[in-house]
């Protein structure tokens, strides 16, 4: 399993925002420059994170983006899934009935266990812990 480049950029943007004061907003162009994220790519990421309720956006001369809630309430898992969708170490973990070998597969249990550990760790890790 590998997260997408878009999810990686989203994580870096949210980590950047979590370092700011709660009331502080910042222009996406500043995040893009400091985090080396292409501006057009960041605009798409911001839209998805905003739809997921992770960040707040405002337009205008004093506009910008900020976290929609404190960093201790935003998990790494939430950001990744807002961009990439549900995490799965293998398709059979999310859709066991679609596997031709589901009734005889000796790998399924280990995939499920790995999935549980991975998702649990990402869910428990919040951005306040990372700063």
Prediction pTM value: 0.90
- State residue 128's pLDDT score: 95
What is the C-alpha to C-alpha distance for residues 36 and 50, in angstroms, rounded to an integer? 20
Q: Indicate the helix (H) or strand (E) that contains 61.
A: none
Gyration radius (Cα) of the chain, Å:
17
Q: What is the largest CA-CA distance in the chain?
A: 61
- State residue 86's pLDDT score: 93
CATH topology for the 5-130 domain: Arc Repressor Mutant, subunit A (1.10.10)
- State residue 94's pLDDT score: 84
Per-residue pLDDT of the chain (131 residues; tens, 9 = 90+): 789 999 999 999 999 999 998 778 999 999 999 999 999 999 999 999 999 999 999 887 777 999 999 999 999 999 999 999 999 988 888 887 777 776 778 888 898 899 999 999 999 999 999 99
Residue 106, token pair as written in the block: 């000796």
- State residue 95's pLDDT score: 81
Write down the domain spans for the chain: 5-130
């Amino acid at each position: 399993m590998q997260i997408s480049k878009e999810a990686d950029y989203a994580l870096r943007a949210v980590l950047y925002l979590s370092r700011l004061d709660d009331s502080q907003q910042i222009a996406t162009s500043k995040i893009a420059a400091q985090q080396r994220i292409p501006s057009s790519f960041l605009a798409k990421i911001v839209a998805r994170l905003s739809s997921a309720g992770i960040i707040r956006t405002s337009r205008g001369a004093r506009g910008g983006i900020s976290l929609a809630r404190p960093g201790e309430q935003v998990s790494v898992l939430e950001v990744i899934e807002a961009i990439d969708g549900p995490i799965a170490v293998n398709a059979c973990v999310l859709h066991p009935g679609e596997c031709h070998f589901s009734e005889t597969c000796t790998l399924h249990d280990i995939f499920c266990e790995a999935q549980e550990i991975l998702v649990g760790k990402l869910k428990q890790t919040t951005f306040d812990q990372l700063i």
